[in-house]
Homo-oligomer: A and B are copies of this chain.
Amino acid sequence: GRQGLPEVVYGPGKTAPQITAIVTSLLAANSGPVLVTRVEPETADTVLEAVAADGGRYDAEAQLLAWRPAPAGDFRVVVAAAGTSDWPVAAEAAAVASAAGLDVSRIDDIGVAGIHRTLAAAPRLHAADAVICVAGMEGALASVIGGLVAAPVIAVPTSTGYGASLEGVTALLAMLSACAAGLTVVNIDSGFGAAMAAHRIARTRKASS
């Protein structure tokens, strides 16, 4: 089996009782973090009450339910969001990464249409062990960051924007075809996926020490 990754349940389409049952069983089966993503506030309340174990918390911006989050380690992840509308996805990335034990900080609104804002963030980006770049209409941000830092950059396209944004598909394709060498991409709006990718990278360091 695969070890070392937190258990994460995908919330949409599951009822509160279904989530409660799954969480209860996961909490019993192992001792690591148990998370549920994309949970509506009302469902979250119901589940928090129904799960016997203590210590569950709900992060409303990230729509994340979490039990037994890992203590913060020394792997620094910066979650950089291009614009306001990219915040919910950035919040999911940050909350999941944090619950998985990474040392997370966020930089918002550094979209490249105002390149001075991006550059102002350069020192913080350089200090990161990995960067999660969240952007929709300004998918270009991933290219710029990929060119600025030599650390792993995980790009998350978002479904913000309209028309030619095609629900995030444009940002996704643009990030994939960008020239910045070694940029990697996860699914549209998948803050969760980016956080887990960062966690896999962080484990690499631990594994080696």
The interface of chain A, by Cβ under 8 A from chain B, is 1-5, 8, 10, 12-14, 18, 74-75, 82-85, 111-116, 118-119, 129-130, 136-144, 146-154, 157, 159-174, 176-190, 192-193, 195-201, 203-205, 207-209
Contacts and interface: CB of A to CB of B under 8 A. Distances in A.
B207 A209 contact: no
Contacts of A147: 2, 112-115
Contacts of A115: 115, 118-119, 144, 147-148
A174 B175 CA distance: 10
25 contacts: A74-B208, A75-B208, A82-B179, A111-B179, A112-B144, A130-B204, A138-B178, A140-B141, A140-B143, A150-B203, A151-B200, A161-B177, A162-B177, A163-B172, A163-B190, A164-B176, A164-B187, A165-B177, A166-B173, A171-B174, A176-B188, A177-B187, A182-B199, A185-B186, A208-B209
